[in-house]
Amino acid sequence: MHLKRQNIGKFWPVPRKGTKYLAVATHNKNEAIPLVVVMRDILKLVRNKKELKKLLNEKQILINHKEIRETNYPVCLFDIISFPSTKENYRVSLSEHKKMIFDKISDGDAKTKVYKVLGKKILSKGVVQLNLMQGKNILTDEKVKVGDSVILNLKDNKIVKIIPLEKGKTAFALKGKHTGSSGKIIEVLEEGRNKIAKISADGKEMNVWIKNIIVVD
């Protein structure tokens, strides 16, 4: 399946002019870029899909410590892309221009990924299921609130750290006019059923809906 280049997401850091069509991610289409576009058009580590398939067949590309086999596998925000043969790792983030960026990180940093907690569900025997961003679910007995973030060990999916949504924590804007901005939470306010975080960034204050941020530190 392909998408007209002029209709790609605004977060794609690729030119609007070029070949008429680009690949579409196998899932999470509205929040991801397909691996082939990342490798060929952004990181420029392959020249075409054939070269990418060769790397995939040789098990040379991992995303979140998982061996990838699909050229159109979705690459999402905060994903970790690793290349075992070169020992290089990239973490996906967002720039202040609301475009995805790929930052090189160390092997140590590549072992974990941050997820926002979107919901909770009590299963049988009191087991708690956390519903995380990007459709990921985990079971835990940790005390975590909706809106908090968890840092997972990508090898065993165990919680390494819980980051509560509270004053003093660092928040990153995922959506809205402040997308890509980050700063310290000064205060969490309630407006009816909605909550707003007052964030200090670069000497300025901004108000962002809680649903549009993730706490990262």
Rg (C-alpha) for the chain, rounded Å, is 18
Q: Give 203's pLDDT tier (boundaries 50, 70, 90).
A: confident
**Separation between Cα atoms, residue 211 and residue 191, nearest integer Å:** 13
Q: What is the pLDDT of residues 144-165, one digit of tens each?
A: 999 999 999 999 999 999 999 9
Residue 10: burial class (beta carbons within 10 Å; 0-12, 13-18, 19+): exposed
Tell which phi-psi region holds residue 126, choosing left (phi > 0), alpha (psi between -120 and 50) or beta: left
Average pLDDT, the chain: 92
Domains of the chain are: 2-107 (3.10.290.10), 111-163 (2.40.50.740), 170-215 (2.30.30.30)
Contact indicator for 80, 91 with CB cutoff of 8 Å: yes
**Separation between Cα atoms, residue 184 and residue 43, nearest integer Å:** 31
**Separation between Cα atoms, residue 179 and residue 176, nearest integer Å:** 6
pTM of the model: 0.89
- pLDDT score at 6: 65
Tell me if residue 158 falls in helix, strand or coil. strand
Q: Is the pLDDT of residue 1 over 70?
A: no
Q: Which of 39-48, 87-96, 186-195 has the lowest mean pLDDT?
A: 186-195
Tokens describing residue 48 = 């075409």
**Separation between Cα atoms, residue 118 and residue 82, nearest integer Å:** 27
**Separation between Cα atoms, residue 171 and residue 10, nearest integer Å:** 22
Q: Which residue has the higher pLDDT, 74 or 20?
A: 74
- pLDDT score at 113: 97
Q: For 87-100, what is the mean pLDDT?
A: 94
Q: For 199-215, what is the mean pLDDT?
A: 92
Contact indicator for 151, 160 with CB cutoff of 8 Å: yes
